[in-house]
Structure 1
């Protein structure tokens, strides 16, 4: 099942609101009739009770009209013309409108689904919307990706609601199932980020994605244990992030070199000060040393390989290189008025 970001209240709430309006309208007509009960005649000729007023209001608003209670005074007939007849029309609109809204909502959802399936392409699929998945989505959005280009695959109802409330399209189901990934249009995706809660699930998702895409879609997987990293790569993952090992190294740095932790946090936290970035080398930069550029270059990416500046091959920029550098990510400040 595909869940789209909520744009309006649900059908159940709409029905509840309309039911409340209908009941309120009936009560209003009952009050009007009961106040002017002397202007009505009952077949029993014993006067209108409160129950009779309810009965007359219901059969009149529903257009049943048995005729056993009729307005006889001019005032009662005027009230029927000016109040009860418009209320009858409004009552029918409320009842019919509820059905129409439910049907319209179903049609609108079906239309949105067809339109989304036609347009979704070159998108990123996030398998798992836990802590890692949400952080991955935040990073994608901070780097300029539109929410419409992100699709979440999740089977946890709470995470699904969180994803849709964040404005994302979410596919309900397990990412280990090919039918679910097919709903997410995995064949047309740019990349698949696997952020499941267990390494065995990550391996199964990686195998499924590789089988469905024949290795044409970039697969980035997170692993809890370092020993599962090679298994994920053998399964088809192009990049593997070992969360436990990374956290352990940061913990070790916090003891031996605490300032380095602040530098790493600064690089990973958007809008703080420094941020890692990558761009293509320009023509006028080919042949130059990376240190001659205006940016603080820390590495080159050439033909699928990362070259450090200490590497002999990384001393000169070549055509097709990607330049990895540190950019100033601080928000622009407006100078204070004198």
Structure 2
């Protein structure tokens, strides 16, 4: 049994702690519950196959993350008896015109052989869009990805914390300096990483989501995730309630005060995608997403002798659980599925 101290209780730190504690290691998590934590504010979409990013190391990480999710959630929820709000409810991807729809269909479906967990991929008729998501506009051509899904970051963190304690780990809500920790230090401080270390270089973005409620008859079943034009997305949070996002702002500020301009912009986007319903804004959520070089997560030891995991960016909830599995295996001297040297650049 080894001793590990983890600084930062977002998805990376919590997942690593869970997997280490489950392997009978002595684990303590220190988390000061900073407002603006990316995990808690995230919409939690899990659908990496639709991305057009060409970074193979990033794609290997997020697709392995999506592959791991069902087993990971099944075991976590069975152990804690807590829901993580994980749903494999599919994803409707909208496109500007039929030409782009066809290109996207070919690009996405070509990935099925290497990722059978993504399920069926098909183009949707307007009638099919309305059947799957009665509130959604049918103006844009769409592609459906059966394996797409979503999770509540906040619910997932609560379940992970419960499981860590169940397996004998400790979760302490306070700050601590890395040089005063016992055992191997795992530093997962997200956007706040620079308070102690400058390596790797971590920058962050403010991402804002609008939570809203719409009038109208609620669908009889859960609606799929919607991937809109550009970076826009919509997830169902409750009956007739949705979150739409996101805005991105590179910043060195740590303010999480919502922007009225961004709220107005997102409200307008909601009207675009839900044109036949009345929309009532509920609240804005703001998260500070950490990014590292080439927007590729950093996973490995630094020159300071600290094991760092950071820079998960907008896909933190997709890859966070599998990073926890892989880091726990690596630090326990076991074989990993991914080559973590790819992320210790």
> Same fold per TM (> 0.5)?
no
> TM-score scaled by structure 2?
0.21
Q: Which has the higher contact order (CA 8 A, sep 6+)?
A: 2
Structure with greater helix percent: 1
More strand by share: 2
TM-score by length of 1: 0.21
